Amino acid sequence: MPCLKKKPKNMNYAQMFKNLKNRLDNEAGKLKQSAQQYTEQIAAQVGQYRQAMNEQATGSDANASISKRFLNSVTGTTNPEAGESKVEDPADVSIESSSAIMSEIPEADLLGLGLSSTESPSNRRRRSPSAESTHSNESTLASLLQSIPNVISSAFETIPSDSESVTSEAFSVRSTNDPAYNSRLKQRLASYKAKYRDAVHRHNKLVDEVTATKKILETTQDECLQKVEKLRSEKRVLAEKLRDSVGNGDGKDDLEKKCEDYKRMLEQCKNKIKALQQEKKDQLINVDDDESPRIKELESRIQKTEEEWTTRINESDQQHAIVLATTKAEMHGALENKDSEIEQWRRKCAVLEQQDADANQRWNEKVEKLQAMNKALEAENNEMIDKLSEAKTQGVKAVLEEEEKKRSILESDMNEEIERLKEEIEKMTLEMSSYKVRLEAKESSEFDEHNEDIETLKLEIASVRSEKIDLESKLAEHVSSFDIYRAEAEKTLAAAKEQFEKKVSECDKWREKYEERAAASDHIATVEFETQETEAHRILEYVKI
Rounded average pLDDT over 159-171: 40
Q: Which of 304-318, 372-386, 432-446, 466-480 has the lowest mean pLDDT?
A: 432-446
Q: Lowest-pLDDT range, 187-191, 280-284, 314-318, 475-479?
A: 280-284
CA distances from 295 to 179, 275, 284, 307 (A): 145, 17, 8, 18
Reported as a pLDDT band with limits 50, 70 and 90, residue 68 is very low
Lowest mean pLDDT among 149-153, 173-177, 255-259, 366-370: 149-153
Determine, yes or no, domain membership for 320: no
Which of these three, 222, 241, 260, is where a domain ends? 241
Dist CA 526 CA 367 (whole Å): 10
- Distance between CA atoms of residues 186 and 62, nearest Å: 21
Residues 3-23 pLDDT 10s: 434 444 445 656 766 777 777
Confidence of residue 79 (pLDDT cuts 50, 70, 90): very low
Determine the Cα–Cα distance for residues 226 and 535; give it in Å rounded to an integer.
Answer: 5
DSSP string, 28-49: HHHHHHHHHHHHHHHHHHHHHH
Residue 187 lies in a domain: yes
Q: How does residue 448 score in pLDDT terms, banded at 50, 70 and 90?
A: low
**Is 161 a residue whose pLDDT tops 60?**
no
93: nearest Cα among 27, 144, 59: 144
- The reported pTM is 0.21
pLDDT given for residue 106 in this prediction: 43
| Residue 373 resides in a domain | no
Mark which of 191, 218, 241 sits at the end of a domain. 241
Residue 224's DSSP bridge partners are 536
Structural domain of 487 = 389-544
Quote the CA–CA distance of 145 and 162 in Å, as a whole number. 19
Alpha-carbon dihedral 432, 435, 441, 445, rounded to 10 degrees: -130
Q: Which of 276-290, 299-313, 416-430, 478-492 has the lowest mean pLDDT?
A: 276-290
| Mean pLDDT of all residues belonging to the chain | 68
Kindly list the distances between the CA atom of residue 430 and the CA atoms of 148, 435, 468, 527, in Å, as whole numbers in the listed order.
120, 8, 15, 97
Residues in the chain: 545
Alpha-carbon dihedral 78, 81, 83, 86, rounded to 10 degrees: 30
Whether 338 and 245 have beta carbons less than 8 Å apart is answered as: yes
pLDDT of residue 72: 47
Would residue 325 count as lying in a domain? no
Q: Which among 209, 241, 273 is the end of a domain?
A: 241
Say what percent of the chain tops pLDDT 70.
63
193, 145 contact by CB (below 8 A): yes
Residue 213 has what pLDDT?
A: 81
Q: What is the mean pLDDT of residues 36-40?
A: 75
Q: What is the pLDDT of residues 499-527, one digit of tens each?
A: 777 777 777 777 777 777 777 777 777 77
Residue 338 lies in a domain: no
HEC secondary structure over 129-186: CCHHHHHHHHHHHHHHHCCCCCCCCCCCCCCCCCCCCCCCCCCCCCCCCCHHHHHHHH
Question: What average pLDDT does this structure show over 451-455?
Answer: 69
Q: How far apart are CA 526 and CA 121, in angstroms?
A: 37
Indicate the number of domains in the chain: 2
pLDDT at 291 > cutoff 70: no
Q: What is the pLDDT of residue 141?
A: 45
Question: Stretch 132-146: mean pLDDT, rounded?
Answer: 46
Would you say residue 302 lies in a domain? no
| Through-space distance between the first and last CA atoms of the chain, rounded to whole angstroms | 27
Whether residue 524 is contained in a domain is answered as: yes
pLDDT at 2: 40
Contact of 157 with 168, CB cutoff 8 Å: no
Q: Residue 106: inside a domain, yes or no?
A: yes
Give which of 339, 344, 333 is closest to 252, Cα–Cα. 333
- Min mean pLDDT across 199-213, 441-455, 462-476 is at 441-455
